[in-house]
A and B are shown apart, each in its own frame.
Chain A
Amino acid sequence: RKEVEQDPGPFNVPEGATVAFNCTYSNSASQSFFWYRQDCRKEPKLLMSVYSSGNEDGRFTAQLNRASQYISLLIRDSKLSDSATYLCVVNSASYDKVIFGPGTSLSVIP
């Protein structure tokens, strides 16, 4: 089993739709979690950190479920500009265990 797995995608959704991505991780000692977005071979950019209590940033909501070892990202009211690859990142206590998921591709269609 891979250390971090994501929904295979690609997700093709119409503008205005709500879309959710899941990410599972295998290391129960993982301590911090993030979502990044990456546009077409550009650098990954931090979208949001994921906190134990769940957190929201505008149209984006992130959730953490430690018992089931997954995190999720919900995007409401999708915009064309949301089209990108979304990377799930899991940190353990040591830096050599910073694991980037393979990414889920999202295309928002007019």
Chain B
Amino acid sequence: DAEITQSPRHKITETGRQVTLACHQTWNHNNMFWYRQDLGHGLRLIHYSYGVQDTNKGEVSDGYSVSRSNTEDLPLTLESAASSQTSVYFCASSAGHPNQPQHFGDGTRLSIL
């Protein structure tokens, strides 16, 4: 069955370190998204991609970057981790049309000490 997987599921790191979270989908979806979710906030969009070599900033993109070198993967990089980036991160994908829903990975719980 097609799926979307995130790794690692949990990570603890120190401030100032570079961290990369992986997202891999086998749906062959063009669109991929990264969100963070914090207590007291809903899902907030970090970056998204419409296809290979396309990336766009979302609502809370500062301190994050993504690259899309193939259809299946959209890794999220924290350039220099900050404690404010401690959160749960969700990756999602969707087919090409805006009317198609997004499907989410299991999430990555990231703690920055």
Chain A interface residues (CB < 8 Å from chain B): 31-32, 34, 41-46, 49, 87, 89, 91-96, 98, 100-103
Contacts and interface: CB of A to CB of B under 8 A. Distances in A.
B10 to A, nearest CB: 12
A61 B99 CA distance: 19
A15 B105 CA distance: 30
Interface stretch (B14-22, B40-48, B76-84): B40-48
Given A41-B88, A44-B90, A96-B56, A91 B105 contact: no
By CB atoms of chain A within 10 A, which of B33, B50, B98, B107 has the most? B98
Given A31-B98, A32-B98, A32-B99, A45 B104 contact: yes
Interface of B: 31, 33, 35, 37, 41-43, 45, 48, 50, 56, 58, 88, 90, 98-99, 101-107
B42 A96 contact: no
Given A87-B42, A100-B42, A102-B42, A94 B98 contact: yes
Contacts, number: 52
Contacts of B35: 100
Given A43-B105, A87-B42, A96-B58, 6 more contacts: A43-B107, A46-B103, A89-B102, A94-B98, A100-B35, A103-B42
Contacts of B45: 96, 98
A100 B50 CA distance: 19
25 contacts: A31-B99, A34-B101, A41-B37, A42-B106, A43-B90, A43-B104, A43-B105, A44-B104, A49-B101, A89-B101, A89-B102, A91-B98, A91-B99, A92-B98, A93-B98, A95-B48, A96-B45, A96-B56, A96-B58, A98-B33, A98-B45, A100-B35, A100-B42, A100-B43, A102-B42
